[in-house]
Amino acid sequence: MSTQATAELESRVVAAPQRVGVKVFFEDQDSFDRDRMIALFHRWIQEDRLPGTIIDVHDYTHVPRGPGVLLVAHEWHLRTDQAGGRIGLEYELKRGSSGTLAERLRGAIVGVLEAAAALEQDTADEDPVRFATREMVFRFTDRLAVPVTDVAFEEVTGELEAILSDVYGGVQIEFERIGHAQGPLTLHMAVTGDGDWSLEGLVSGARSVAG
């Protein structure tokens, strides 16, 4: 851990979490195809499509409002998540991340956007999957680092505002705390200002922010 992160831990409610989940939503909520997604994730393992040590594909589509098809890597999980009744792609950093809260948030945002871009690209020829680019959900299951409190919500949104402002180019963004009171700190982000963003553009912005 860097000295900056240590200082952060000492002075703030929120520390740098091991686990950070970011979800982007499918544009068409009815287009999910289990078999296609399973085959695609297996192919991604063959092709080393995403960075990391990818271990396996796991089918949880029988679980209502569950993780759908799960791609398990040593460093992250990627799921076609249906929590809250809306399907999207959730990327969750879980191992080996380092740096400050902001650095980890950036890493998770890059992770989900790159995975979503890969999915759009690899389905482009037939029944393309497209993602909504004006909203995201952030989930922090690491309760030691990110307590489920209003203060923690304020601190996290403060960090996210700065990061997403870079990614979206200074547009107006709103955050709302969602989910169960006993659940992990979860927040919904929506862009309220005018603009139109392609996934590729966001990926590019996020990469530059992440350095």
Least distance in angstroms from the C-beta of 65 to another protein: 5
Q: Please name the amino acid found at residue 38.
A: I
CB closer to another protein out of 15 and 203: 15
Which long-range contacts (C-beta less than 8 Å, at least 24 apart) are formed by 183-186?
A: 183/148, 184/139, 184/140, 184/141, 184/142, 184/143, 184/146, 184/148, 185/139, 185/140, 185/146, 185/147, 185/148, 185/149, 185/152, 185/153, 185/156, 186/137, 186/138, 186/139, 186/140
197: Cβ contacts below 8 Å, ≥ 6 apart: 133, 134, 168, 191
Using rule CB under 8 A, residue 30 touches another protein: no
149 is an interface residue for another protein by CB under 8 A: yes
64 binds another protein (CB under 8 A): yes
- Residue 132 lies near another protein (rule: CB under 8 A): no
Q: Does 158 bind another protein (CB under 8 A)?
A: no
Non-local (6+) Cβ contacts of 195 within 8 A are: 168, 169, 171
Q: How is residue 83 annotated by DSSP? A: G
| Residue 39 in the binding site for another protein (CB under 8 A) | yes
Contact status: 142 vs another protein (CB under 8 A): yes
Taken in order 151, 156, 160, 136, the sign of the CA dihedral is negative
Q: Does 178 bind another protein (CB under 8 A)?
A: no
Binding mask 72-111 for another protein (x = CB under 8 A): x-x--x-x---x-----------xx---------------
C-beta of residue 115 within 8 angstroms of C-beta of residue 78: yes
The reply to whether 184 sits near another protein by the rule CB under 8 A is: yes
Which one of 5-13, 22-30, 124-132, 160-168 is the stretch in contact with another protein (CB under 8 A)? Answer: 5-13
Q: Is residue 119 near another protein by the rule CB under 8 A? A: no
- 115-123, 145-153, 161-169, 187-195 -> range binding another protein (CB under 8 A): 145-153
Of 196, 194, 201, which Cα lies nearest the Cα of 167? 201
- Closest approach, Cβ 152 to another protein, in A, equals 6
Is residue 162 near another protein by the rule CB under 8 A? no
DSSP 170: S
98 by DSSP, 3-state: which?
A: coil
Residues lying near another protein in the complex (CB under 8 A) are found at 9-13, 15, 19, 35, 38-39, 42, 45-46, 53, 55-67, 70, 72, 74, 77, 79, 83, 95-96, 141-149, 151-152, 179-180, 182-184
